[in-house]
Amino acid sequence: MAEKSYEMIFCIINSGFSDTVMSAAKEAGARGGTVLRARGTAGKEAEELFKITIHPDKEVIMILVTNDIKDDVLKAIYHSAGMNTAGQGIAFSVPVNKTVGLSQ
């Protein structure tokens, strides 16, 4: 089992922007990620209130990173694909308790 401490970054983004996210994440030190298809469900009222358009087609990108590069990866994703970009991405990380299968 791994000794390093890891975090899982989740990034929810408009469909088609996963390459943008992964490029930014890799530049910040991430090795790879996994992309899932998803559907956004934000309400019409919220769209009008915040003056944004929510595309229902989403991608969820999961990137496992070590703690020491987590902030760099999150910042890179925010700058390249954050809410103020066409990708309208939301990124957050959750702590990971245990891992197996990672090559050191």
Chain residues in the site for other proteins (CB under 8 A): 1, 6, 8, 18-19, 22, 31-37, 61-62, 64, 94-103
Of the pair 41, 103, the CB lying nearest other proteins is at 103
Residue 40 region by backbone torsions, left for phi larger than 0, else alpha for psi between -120 and 50, else beta: beta
CB of 20 to other proteins, least distance (A): 11
Instruction: Give whichever of 56 and 95 is closer to other proteins, judged by the CB atom.
Output: 95
Could you tell me the two tokens for 52?
């944004």
Nearer of residues 31 and 79 to other proteins, judged by Cβ: 31
Question: Nearest distance from residue 23's CB to other proteins, in Å?
Answer: 10
Q: Give CA–CA dist 10/60, Å, rounded.
A: 7
Q: How far is CA 24 from CA 38, 46, 70, 85, 100, in A?
A: 21, 29, 12, 14, 25
**Residue 6 Cβ vs other proteins, minimum distance, rounded to whole Å:** 7
